[in-house]
Amino acid sequence: MIKSVRALAAAASLAVAAPAFAAGETPHIERQQWSFSGPFGQYDRAQLQRGFKVYKEVCASCHGVRLVAFRNLAEEGGPGFTEEEAKAIAADYTVVDGPNEDGDMFERPAVLADRFPSPFPNEQAARASNGGAYPPDFSLLAKARAAHRGFPWFVFDAFTQYQEQGADYIYALLTGYEEDPEGIEVPSGQYYNHSFLGGQFIGMAPPLSDELVEYTDGTPMTLDQYSRDVAAFMMWAAEPHLEARKKMGFRVMVFLIIFASLLYFTKQKLWRNVAH
């Protein structure tokens, strides 16, 4: 019951008062360490499973993952659930199907081929339940929401393959809530968050706190750990084939290096007796 109340309190998702940042100013988002960083990075299966647990128990009452299918939970490169575990997770959800022979829509337990159903039937219902705010879908949020890094940082990011801005921002947002600072008047129904890109005042109540979700693997049950885990899960939801992409990219780079070397030595051999 307490978890449900906390989740509903988070429902005023991302409704914002007038931005408090000066024009052109954005909050500083600290770069975090992730297992999936760099050209050889991989997802931490245990972390993805914990992140899914946080999402399911806290975030799912307001935020959907409409582009993720239950079968994805058991696919290579994902959280590492077995097919039976993914089926059991799907069975906890109900989806609308049809029409049947009478032309009516009907509800049935979800199967692996189904995608996660939205917590609301439509956008209007979502806004009505959240004080006019529309809780964003989590499917692509880790790729869509990130602090802009201006010149010359985005140039360095291209060489270092830094692509975790979204996960860094989600972590910073979830851990960025503070008591109302002295001298700053926080509007009614808003909360102060120094990492919010929309301007310090956010309509979503702090969704996470210590000891909120039970971990059974000995991982610390802290706000910091919950934020890291759910941010990693959202990164996977946004880019489920990250590991395959990085493996393919490495193979392509090796091929290009070998191919360029062969071309160079072939050219040297063919033109070695020709005066230049």
Q: pLDDT for 84-126, tens place per residue?
A: 999 999 999 999 999 988 899 999 999 999 999 999 999 999 9
The per-residue pLDDT for 161 is 78
Q: Which helix (H) or strand (E) holds 109?
A: strand 106-109
pTM value is 0.85
Pairing of strands 191-192, 201-202: antiparallel
Is the distance from CB of 128 to CB of 12 less than 8 angstroms?
Answer: no
Specify the pLDDT at position 112: 97
How is residue 100 annotated by DSSP?
-
Q: How high is the pLDDT of residue 188?
A: 87
Non-local (6+) Cβ contacts of 227 within 8 A are 170, 171, 174, 175, 208
Instruction: For the beta carbon of residue 220, count every other beta carbon within 10 angstroms.
Output: 11
Question: Which DSSP category does 17 fall into?
Answer: -
- Looking at per-residue pLDDT, the higher value among 160 and 261 belongs to 261
- 175 φ, ψ (degrees, to nearest 5): -105, 5
Lowest-pLDDT range, 54-58, 198-202, 262-266?
Answer: 198-202
Tell whether the torsion through CA atoms of 149, 152, 154 and 159 is positive or negative: negative
